[in-house]
Structure 1
Amino acid sequence: MSSNLDQLYRRVIMDHYKNPRNKGSIEDGALTIDMNNPTCGDRIHLTLQVEDGVIQNAKFDGEGCSISMASASMMTQAVKGKKVEEALKLSTVFSEMMLGKEHDESIDLDDIEALNGVSKFPARIKCATLAWKAMEKGVSEEEK
């Protein structure tokens, strides 16, 4: 990856960290998921509003490193308005990207692509995937 692309990706990550999208929580009857990463102290409080199999709204709160919080911001943006199945597919593609595996490149990752470089730092992958795992847990509990 070129250094210009690295710098762009760094700027995108820092923008989501410093200006998080969808920060806060949803009150009325939302799914609430709390997860943490004990190895580094990242914590996320995710709330999802799911109606008729569609994620109508997604908000997060928490604390953690720039990668963890930026990823939560990107994830909430990416899943809003998506069917649960689409959100789970996006999460699978994201996980595959984090693990350096081949993934479905027909799916537009938009800002999420900026986290691609995290795959080179195995200790940071859990930071990047925390919010995604919380979303997966929330929608799977909703389906039950």
Structure 2
Amino acid sequence: MAAPPGLYTSVIRERWAEDVNPLCGDRVRLALRLEDGAVAQARFTGDSCAICSASADVLLEKIQGRRVPEAAAVTTEDLLATLETDIRPTRMKCVTLPLSVLRAALRAA
């Protein structure tokens, strides 16, 4: 279950991004706090399917404490390996949406 809108944005304001998958309506917003070039804190909120939410959870586990280049280097394959389930091609955007939102947040000024 995603946190209520705005819960983390007042705490973590350094970097954030949001995107929507127009095919199924998944919406993911990631908020990041960086310290000394590493991800000190990361949270997500959104309205998303189970696959997208699981992907976001896995992604946040993978990037917590990592240096920004390492966090940015997480791949779809990394997420799929951790999820350990078969994802049909029609649902692949559900897996990749949190990853694209992370990359946008890391590019944000």
Q: Report TM bin, short chain.
A: 0.7 to 0.9
> Greater relative contact order (Cα 8 A, min sep 6): structure 1 or 2?
2
Letter in 1 for 2:108: E
* Deviation per residue, 1:89-140 (Å, 9 max, x gap): 22xxx32x2xxxxxxxxxxx5895225522xx11111100111111111112
The answer for the alignment partner of 1:38 in structure 2 is 22
Letter in 2 for 1:114: L
Q: How many residues end up aligned between the 2 structures?
A: 105
The answer for the alignment partner of 1:10 in structure 2 is none
Q: CA deviation at 1:29?
A: 3.0
Is contact 2:59-2:79 (8 Å) kept?
Answer: no
TM norm structure 2:
0.82
Q: Which runs of 5+ in 2 are unaligned?
A: none
Query: SS of the residue aligned with 2:73?
Result: helix
Matched, 1:77 2:61: yes
Alignment of 1:86-101 (within 5 A): 86-90=70-74, 94-95=75-76, 97=77
* Deviation per residue, 1:33-90 (Å, 9 max, x gap): 1111011000011100012210101000101110001111111111010001111122
Give the structure with the higher percent helix.
1
The answer for the alignment partner of 1:129 in structure 2 is 96
Identity of aligned residues (%): 28
Larger Rg: 1
Cα distance change, pair 134–28 in 1 and its aligned pair in 2 (3 A): closer
Letter in 2 for 1:64: S
> How far apart are the structure 2 equivalents of 1:47 and 1:29?
7
Q: Which runs of 5+ in 1 are unaligned?
A: 1-17, 98-108
Is contact 1:25-1:46 (8 Å) kept?
Answer: no
Give the structure with the higher percent strand.
2
